[in-house]
Amino acid sequence: MKKFCLIIVLMFAFFSIVSAIEVGGHLTEDTTWSPENNPYLVTSGVYVEADVTLTILPGTIVKFNADYYDDMGDDQFYFHSGEEPIAKFIRCEGRIIAEGTEQDSIIFTRMQDVEYYHWGTIYLPEGADRSSFKYCVFEFSAFTGFSLWEQPHGAISMWNGSAMIDKCDFIDNDTAIYIRNNVTAIQITNNYYDYIEYPHPNIISVSGNDFISAFYISSNDIENPLIAGNIFKNGTAIYSCKSVYFVDNSIESVALNRKAIYLSLTDGISYFYNNAIGNCSTGIVSGSNGMDSLYIKKNHFATDGGKGIDIDDAYVEVSDNYFENCRLILSHSYLSKIINNIIVNKPEPVSNPAISGNVDVITNNIVNNCGVGLSGSGATQFSNNIISNNHAICSFLTDISVIENEVIIGNDEIFLHTPSVNGYPVFRNCILDFELPEGCIDGGGNIWVDSLQVQNLFEDIENGDFHLIEGSLAIDAGFDTLGYYYPFDMDYNIRVWDGDNNGTAIIDIGPYEFGSPAFGGIEGYTYNPTNGDPVDYVLLKINNQPGEFTFTDSIGNFEYKLPAGVYDVYAERVFYEDVIEYQIEVIDGEFTQIAIPMFEIVDVEENTIIPSVHDFNLTNYPNPFNPSTTISFSIPTVGNVELSIFNIKGQKVKIISLSLCHPEFIEGRRETKYNVTWNGTDESNKPVASGIYFYQLCVDNKPVANNKMLLLK
C-alpha cells in the first residue's frame, strides 16, 4: 500500500526506456555488456556461474529494480520460499571485469529514481574468482538476504577473498564495500565515497551510526586489505573487525556519524599512514576487546573538538602526527609509544588531557594551547616534550617515572585539581616557569625562567615554532644518557650534538637539537620490472621491523631518514611478491638511492604468465659502472627491438633502436642474442648524473623486460 501512489509514475518511467535490454537469470558462458545496448535493466537476479566472466565495457549503464528501504527486515530484500526479492542483484560465482575509463564510467544504479529506493548488491561469494572494478559509479545499493547466514551488504560485497577496486565513485549506498570471509588479496584505491541522500532514518536507528560506512570488514584469516588514496565524506570510513593498511586517504567529514574509523576485535598488524582525518568527533577508535598492533604515523587529525585517537587494550605506536583541536588517548596500552607528535588548540573542555593513558614512552612531543597537557600517569620514558600555554600542565603526578628534559612554560595552572601529587615525582634538567609543588623532588639541572627569558629560547614561540635559537638556555642543558634516548630529534636530525661548541655533546632540552646535522637515509622508487610502471603504496620496513616503516606514494616514490649504518629493506604489497633489498649502506647526511622491483603474482585463473628479466637474460656489466656499461639480452623471436634508458624519476633519457634479422641457435633454441654499450649520455650526447637508471627492453613496441643499473662517477 505504501507504494501504490507511485505505481503510475514508476510504470511510465519503466516503459519510456524503449531501447533498454532486460537481463537476468544464469550466465553460463562468457558475456559482454556494452554501451550500445544501454541501459541494461536487471529485472531478475543475474547469476554469473563459476568459470564464467561477465565483462562490462566503458560507458555501460546497469539499472537494478529497486524498492523502498526503510527496514532491514523488509521482505523485498530477502529470498522467501525460493522466491527472489524485489530489489535485484548480481551474484557472481565466476568473475566480473567492469573497467571503464576516465571519460566513460560504468554506472550501476536503481531503475526508480525515488528517495529511499535501493537495489540489492553485487555479491562475490566464497570461491568466486578475482573481479576488477575501475572507473565505475555505484549508487543506491543496500543488501540481499539469500539466507539467514548469507546476507551480503553493500554495492560490492566480497566474500571470495580477492578483488581490485580502483577510481570508482560510491554514492548513497547502505555500505559501499562489505568484506567478509578469508580475504587474501584486496586492493581498494583512489575511490570516492559520499552520502548525499542519506539512508532512511529507520535504517540508521536499527543498524547504528557506525554501520553506515564506506567499508565494513568482518573476516577470518584476513590478509591486510590495502585501502589507499581514497576520499571519504559524510559517513564512517571503516568499521573493521580485522587489520588493514590505511594509507594516503582523506576523510573530509563524518556528518552522519561520530567516528571516522572504528576498530573492533582487530587482530594482526594495522598501519594508518599519511591520512587526513577531519570533521568527526573521533578519528580512530577501538573497543576494549584486545587487539594486536597498530602503527599510526604522519597523519593529520582535525576533529570537532573530540578525540583524534582513542585506543584501548592494544600495542600502539603513535609517531609524527599532527593533532588539531583533538586529543590522544591510549588506555591500557602499557608498552606503547607516543613520539614526535604535535597537539595544538584543544582548549575546551579544560578537563580533557591532550595526552592520556598508561604507555611506555612519551618523548619529543609538543602540547600547546590545550586544556590539560597530560594526564600525568607517567611513562617509563617521559622526556624532551614541550608543554606550553595550556590551562593546566597535568591532571596529577606520580613517581612512576622521572620527568626530564621538558620545557614546561606559560601554563595557567600546574594541576587541574588539587591535591594531585602521588608519591614523589622527580623533575630534572627541565626548563620551568613555576616552583615545584610540594611533594615533587628537584633532581638537579632544572632551569627556572621568567617571561622575558622565555622569549629568548625559541624561534617564534607566539606562533608555535619551538626550534631553539643560538644562545638558548636549552642548548646542551639536558640530562644526557646516550643509548637511552631515541637517536633523532623532531626533525630527524642527530639527537645528541655539541650545540654550544664547547667540545662536549649533550642532549638539548625539548624536542629539537640545536645545530645538529640531518640524518641521511634511503630514497628511491618501486616499479614493475615487466612494464616499467611505478608501483604505488608499497609497505617498506627497515630490517623487517614493523615500527620502522614507510609507504611509497601514489607514483612509487619514497624517502626514509636513518642514522648511518647498513640496513635490509623489506617491501610488500598485495598482488606482488615480497622483495628484500639487502645491505643498503646509509652515510650521515646522504641519501642512498635504491630502486625496488616488484614482481606481480601470477593469476592462475587467468593463466597469465608474467615475463621476467630472466626470460630474456637482460643484464648489464659492469654494474655499478663508470663511464660505460654493456647491456646484454636474448629474445626467443625475431622482430624490431628498442632499448630505452630511464632515470629514477621515470624520465626517458636515451633510446637505442635495433633491428635484429639474423637469429642464431643458442643451446638448441632459436634465439637472437645482442650486446649494446651505453656510455652514460642522454639523447643530446650529454653526460648524465650519477644515480640509478632503469633499462627497458621492448620487442615490436611491447615491453618485455626491465632491469636497473647504477652509474657512479
Q: Which of 535, 564, 597 is the last residue of a domain?
A: 597
pLDDT at position 183 over 70 = no
**Higher-confidence residue: 420 or 450?**
450
Same domain, 346 and 486: yes
Question: What average pLDDT does the segment 204-229 reach?
Answer: 69
Question: What average pLDDT does the segment 365-369 reach?
Answer: 95
Candidate ranges 21-35, 216-230, 268-282; pick with highest mean pLDDT: 21-35
**Higher-confidence residue: 515 or 669?**
515
Cis peptide bond N-terminal to 546, omega within 30: no
> Residue 571 is placed in which grid cell?
617491501
Same domain, 669 and 633: yes
Which residues 6+ apart lie within 8 Å of 643 measured at CB?
A: 631, 633, 655, 656, 657, 658, 676, 695, 696, 697, 698
Predicted pLDDT of residue 674: 77
> Residue 368 is placed in which grid cell?
600547546
Predicted pLDDT of residue 370: 92
How confident is the prediction for the chain on average, in pLDDT?
85
pLDDT at position 487 over 70 = yes
pTM: 0.84
pLDDT at position 178 over 80 = yes
> Residue 537 is placed in which grid cell?
603504496
pLDDT digits (tens, 9 = 90+) for 380-397: 778 999 999 999 998 888
> Residue 30 is placed in which grid cell?
562468457
CA dist 690 and 590 (Å) reads: 14
Q: Which amino acid is at 52?
A: V
Predicted pLDDT of residue 303: 82
Predicted pLDDT of residue 713: 76
Is 442 a member of any domain?
A: yes
pLDDT digits (tens, 9 = 90+) for 574-632: 999 999 999 999 999 999 999 999 988 855 344 333 344 445 778 888 888 888 999 88
What kind and span of H or E run contains 201?
A: helix 201-207
Same domain, 494 and 540: no
CATH number of the structural domain spanning residue 646: 2.60.40.4070
Is 415 a member of any domain?
A: yes
Same domain, 485 and 620: no
For cell 576488477, the residue is 132
pLDDT at position 212 over 50 = yes
* Terminal alpha carbon distance of the chain: 82
Which residues 6+ apart lie within 8 Å of 238 measured at CB?
A: 213, 214, 215, 216, 217, 227, 244, 246, 261, 262, 263
Domain count, the chain: 3
**Higher-confidence residue: 531 or 683?**
683
Question: What average pLDDT does the segment 171-175 reach?
Answer: 91
Q: Which of 516, 550, 584 is the last residue of a domain?
A: 516
**Higher-confidence residue: 648 or 319?**
319
Predicted pLDDT of residue 4: 41
Same domain, 544 and 511: no
Same domain, 498 and 360: yes
Q: Which of 495, 516, 537 is the last residue of a domain?
A: 516
Smallest Cα–Cα separation from 265: which of 237, 239, 231?
A: 239
Cβ 45 vs Cβ 78: under 8 Å:
no
Q: Which of 322-331, 477-486, 585-594, 632-641 has the lowest mean pLDDT?
A: 632-641
Same domain, 551 and 660: no
- Count CB atoms within 10 A of the CB of residue 187: 20
**Higher-confidence residue: 290 or 674?**
674
Percent of the chain with pLDDT over 70: 86
Predicted pLDDT of residue 412: 92
Q: Which of 69-78, 313-322, 436-445 has the lowest mean pLDDT?
A: 69-78
CA dist 244 and 230 (Å) reads: 14
Same domain, 556 and 544: yes
pLDDT digits (tens, 9 = 90+) for 500-532: 999 999 999 999 999 999 999 999 999 988 777
Is 384 a member of any domain?
A: yes
Predicted pLDDT of residue 569: 97
Question: What average pLDDT does the segment 295-311 reach?
Answer: 90
Is 311 a member of any domain?
A: no
Q: Which of 213-217, 276-280, 471-475, 601-605 has the lowest mean pLDDT?
A: 601-605
Is 550 a member of any domain?
A: yes
Same domain, 473 and 419: yes
Q: Is the dihedral of CA 609, 611, 614, 617 positive or negative?
A: positive
Predicted pLDDT of residue 60: 98
Is 244 a member of any domain?
A: no
Is 227 a member of any domain?
A: no
- Antiparallel, parallel or unpaired: β 407-409 and 421-422: unpaired
Give the residue numbers spanning the domain of 401.
334-516
Question: What average pLDDT does the segment 277-306 reach?
Answer: 83
**Higher-confidence residue: 671 or 476?**
476
Same domain, 416 and 459: yes
What kind and span of H or E run contains 204?
A: helix 201-207
Predicted pLDDT of residue 658: 66
Cβ 708 vs Cβ 622: under 8 Å:
no
**Higher-confidence residue: 420 or 682?**
682
Same domain, 353 and 391: yes
CATH number of the structural domain spanning residue 587: 2.60.40.1120
Same domain, 388 and 500: yes
Is 665 a member of any domain?
A: yes
